[in-house]
Amino acid sequence: MRIGVCIKQVPDTDSHLRIADSGREIDDSDLNWVISSCDLCALEEGLLLAEAQVSRGEERPELVVFSLGPPRVEEALRKALALGADRAVHLAGEALQGGDALADGCALAAALAKVHCDLVLTGAQSDDLGQAATPAVIAEILGVPYAWLVMAVELDSRKQSVRVVRELEGGMNEVLRLDLPAVLAIQAGINKPRFASLRGTLQSRRKPLHREDCSGVDAGLVGAAGAGTETESVSLPPAGAGGVVIEGVSAEAAAEELLAHLEREAAL
Amino acid sequence: MVLLPHTYQSAEYAPRLAVRLGAAYVASVSSATLDAGGVLSFSRAILQARLRAEVRPKRRLVVATVQIGAFGGHDPVELPERVFEVGRPADVERHREREILGREAAGAGGVDLPGAERIVTAGRGVGGPDEVSVAADLASALDAELGASRPVVDNGWLPREHQVGSSGHIVAPNLYVALGVSGSIQHLMGMSGSRVIVAVNRDPEAPIFSVAHYGIVADLHDVAPALTRLLLARRPG
Ligand SMILES: Cc1cc2nc3c(=O)[nH]c(=O)nc-3n(C[C@H](O)[C@H](O)[C@H](O)COP(=O)(O)OP(=O)(O)OC[C@H]3O[C@@H](n4cnc5c(N)ncnc54)[C@H](O)[C@@H]3O)c2cc1C
């Protein structure tokens, strides 16, 4: 059995964000890059599934990690190898850059299909663009079932299907059975991602990391050419509701003032 | 253009629909503009709401999901009724590769947050399980339902059904009072459509103030009891 995990490298959310001079993207000259938080949970879930198979006396599934992006994403792939993935595929090359979720999902689907994964895990949504679209696009292109916001995963003993629990709104969960192969987008909170050990880091240097340029895919479907959207501009959010601020007075005075406002607003 | 609400149900299949239709896909938009030249663009939050992006579809057909609460409610518009007969796709009968086995509540019921006129929410800033009562007391003085941010629920201070936010309830009451809530994107997604938003937070930089109509920069343990006392004193009888 083989499990594919797709990870995205994103700016650390604590990074200082500056808008580039072009006004169309963030200035990436001085950013700290990390693996998107839900993607780390997806990798952890893959590792836990592999370990569960081993403890049942089964063969350990192979864990292959995929990432698309410029050369810096090799650092994210090395980290995934240090955490326990067996090998890594870097979707690299000029033709793959500048895509959106449709284009990147298409490239990832092609790379995943080449490797024949029984189960594909991704994060529920990236910490940067947060569209939650790439895993669904992969599933659609591969023509396999998909579940989003997955909070529990259990392989059936014959490894032909998977039982998942997914979050719904309002504190409801849905229990699903999906035939394999399938794509699951993992929600934060499902597990607590481990830290890399020194031994893992040392071993990761010897693990295979190879480049994939997706040259077999129609160039019009990937990268900037395959994108369905383009970002026109990036800006700071609007300053806010321009609300009334009550500050520096006693709690009683603040409470009186607020209630007077709320009465005028007919909010009481 | 195909517009869908950005719910946990529709946002799951909407990108698949876009692929199948050969359409562009834009998720969770908060506004749309059509310029004089007829060019459509969408605005959406990126990088955990720290920035906004204007996104332009490059294809004629677009599938977009709309962030819940981004648009205030309007009075219903009378439209002529038109019923479209949709044939049943032939392959529905075949073996189901994805089957719903059931639904389970993550907690007990009894809280009607989405239907509430007023909500008072306890954030992590209330401090602990025994301090949630400051929010509960204010809620009862306001005839409001009691809400919670996710950490309050994850810590077990209140049951899951009180949670407001992207993974809890999406609400848009007449009045929303946030006590000790910082204003993360996931929380804002659940309540930013409320008509009047009040925030009590001792940090003047807390992002919740960017959506609050009335912000009190103070310790909630002073302000909330003062509000409760005033409201109770005003009650007739
Ligand atoms: C996929 C995902 C889904 C999520 N879904 C949700 C969701 O549905 N709902 C949700 O709420 N979160 C959700 N979260 C979590 C979210 O990211 C934040 O962590 C969370 O909203 C923060 O909760 P908080 O504001 O209560 O706590 P904090 O961010 O810790 O804020 C506490 C605030 O209280 C203030 N404070 C402290 N003491 C006082 C005092 N005495 N008086 C006044 N103010 C005080 C502080 O200044 C601070 O601003 C989700 C996260 C992820 C990754």
For chain B, give every domain's residue range. Answer: 2-66, 118-234
Whether the CB of A167 is below 8 Å from some CB of chain B: the reply is yes
Determine the Cα–Cα distance for residues B146 and A209; give it in Å rounded to an integer.
51
Residue B81 has pLDDT above 90, yes or no: no
Say which DSSP state B173 is in.
-
Nearby residues of B36 by Cβ (< 8 Å), 6 or more positions away: none
d(CA A29, CA A139): 34
pLDDT surpassing 90 at residue B159? no
Residue B194: what pLDDT? 95
Q: Is A160 on the interface with B (CB under 8 A)?
A: no
Q: Which has more confidence, A173 or A240?
A: A173
Residue A14: its pLDDT value, please?
Answer: 60
Pick from A102, A132, A170: CB nearest B19: A102
H or E element: which one contains A40?
helix A37-55
> Tens of pLDDT along A42-72?
999 999 999 999 999 999 999 999 999 999 9
Q: Which residue has the higher pLDDT, B86 or A204?
A: A204
Give the per-residue pLDDT at B174: 96
CB contact, 8 Å: A129 with chain B? yes
H helical segments located in chain B: 10-21, 132-142, 150-154, 185-191, 220-234
Quick count: other Cβ atoms within 10 Å of Cβ B72?
9
What number is the average pLDDT over the span B64-74? 78
Nearest-angstrom CA–CA distance, B180 and B206: 10
The Cα–Cα gap between B120 and B223 comes to 13
Which chain B residues are Cβ-neighbours of A173 within 8 angstroms? 103-106
- Yes or no: say if B214 and A261 are a contact pair by the CB < 8 Å rule: yes
The number of the ligand 1 atom at minimal distance from the alpha carbon of B184 is: 21
In tens, the pLDDT along A215-246 reads: 999 999 999 999 999 999 998 766 565 789 99
Which amino acid is residue B175, in one-letter code?
A: L
Chain segment B86-119, per-residue pLDDT in tens: 887 766 656 689 999 999 876 545 678 888 999 9
Most distant CA atoms of chain A, gap in Å: 70
| pLDDT for the residue numbered A153 | 97
Q: Closest ligand 1 atom, CA of B219? A: 42
> Of ligand 1's atoms, which has the minimum distance to the CA of residue A37?
53
Q: Which of A128, A182, A254 sits opposite B47 (nearest CB)?
A: A128
Counting ligand 1 atoms within 8 A of each CB, the residue from B184, B189, B217, B219 with the most, and so the one to mutate, is B184
| DSSP state for residue B192 in the 8-state scheme | T
Q: Provide mean pLDDT across the span A104-128.
A: 96
Which residue type is seen at B188? L
Alpha-carbon distance values, B219 to B93, B127, B203 (Å): 60, 11, 9
pLDDT at B17 over 80: yes
Percent of chain A with pLDDT over 70: 96
Task: Report the pLDDT value the prediction gives residue B107, as an integer from 0 to 100.
Answer: 57
Rounded to the nearest angstrom, the distance between the alpha carbon of B224 and the centre of ligand 1 is 18
Q: Report the alpha-carbon distance of residue A186 to residue A123 in Å, rounded.
A: 5
B118-234 CATH fold: Rossmann fold (3.40.50)
pLDDT at A241: 57
In this predicted structure, what is the pLDDT of residue B106?
67
**Cβ–Cβ contact A231 with B under 8 A:** yes
ipTM (interface pTM): 0.89
- Separation in Å, CA of B80 to nearest CA in chain A: 32
Average pLDDT of chain A is 93
The three-state secondary structure class of A251 is helix
Residue A105: its H or E element: helix A101-115
B174 DSSP β-pair partners: none
Contact B98 A132 (CB under 8 A): no
Residue B91: the pLDDT is: 65
The structural domains of chain A, ordered by start, are 2-226 (3.40.50.620)
- Cα torsion A78, A83, A86, A90 to 10°: value is -30
**Does the structure show a pLDDT above 90 at B71?**
no
CA nearest neighbour of A98 among A65, A70, A72, A57: A70
Ligand 1: lining residues by beta carbon, under 6 Å: A 187-188; B 123-125, 149-152, 163-168, 180-182, 184, 186-187, 190, 200-203, 206, 219-221
Distance CA A151, CA A153 (A): 7
pLDDT above 90 covers what percent of chain A? 83
pLDDT for position B45: 85
- Ligand 1 pocket test, candidate residues B131, B152, B155, B186, most atoms within 8 A of CB: B186
Q: What is the pLDDT of residue B233?
A: 94
Structure tokens at B101: 């086995």
Which of the 8 DSSP states describes residue A96?
A: G
Residue B72 reports pLDDT greater than 80:
no
Chain centroid offset of residue A48 CA: 18
Do residues A248 and B204 touch, judged by C-beta distance below 8 A?
A: no
- CA Rg value for chain A: 22
Strands B24-29 and B62-66: parallel
Assess contact for A236 and B208: CB atoms under 8 A: no
Q: Do domains B2-66 and B118-234 have the same CATH topology?
A: yes
Residues of A in contact with B12 (CB under 8 A): 136, 146-149
Chain A, nearest residue to B199 by Cα = A245
CATH superfamily, domain B2-66, is: HUPs (3.40.50.620)
What do you get for the CA distance between the two ends of chain B, in Å? 56
Is pTM beyond 0.80? Reply is: no
- The C-alpha torsion from A188 through A176 and B16 to A12, rounded to 10°, is 10
Residues in chain A closer than 8 A to B119 (CB atoms): none
Q: Specify which residues B116 forms β-bridges with.
A: none
B9 neighbourhood in chain A, CB within 8 Å: 168
CA distance B217 to A246: 6
Inspect the interface and report whether the beta carbons of B46 and A129 lie closer than 8 Å. yes
Q: Is A22 on the interface with B (CB under 8 A)?
A: no
Does the pLDDT of residue B203 top 70, yes or no? yes
Q: How many Å is the maximal CA-CA distance in chain B?
A: 66
In this prediction, residue A268 carries a pLDDT of 87
Q: Mean pLDDT across chain B, nearest whole number?
A: 89
- The H helix count followed by the E strand count for chain A is 7, 13
Mean pLDDT of B221-237: 93
Task: Choose, out of A28, A106, A129, A218, the residue to mutate when testing the contact with B (most B CBs < 10 Å).
Answer: A129
Q: Tell how far the Cα of A174 is from the centroid of ligand 1, in angstroms.
A: 26
Interface touch B48/A259, C-beta < 8 Å: no
User: Does residue B181 surpass a pLDDT of 80?
Assistant: yes
b/e for B97-119, b at 16 or more Cβ within 10 A? bbeeeeeeebbeeebebeebebb
Side by side, the strands of the sheet bearing B51-57 are A229-235, B51-57, B40-46, B31-34
Nearest to B47 among A11, A166, A174 (CB): A11
**Can the peptide bond before residue A181 be classed as cis, meaning omega within 30 degrees of 0?**
yes
Cβ–Cβ under 8 Å, residues B63 and B21: yes
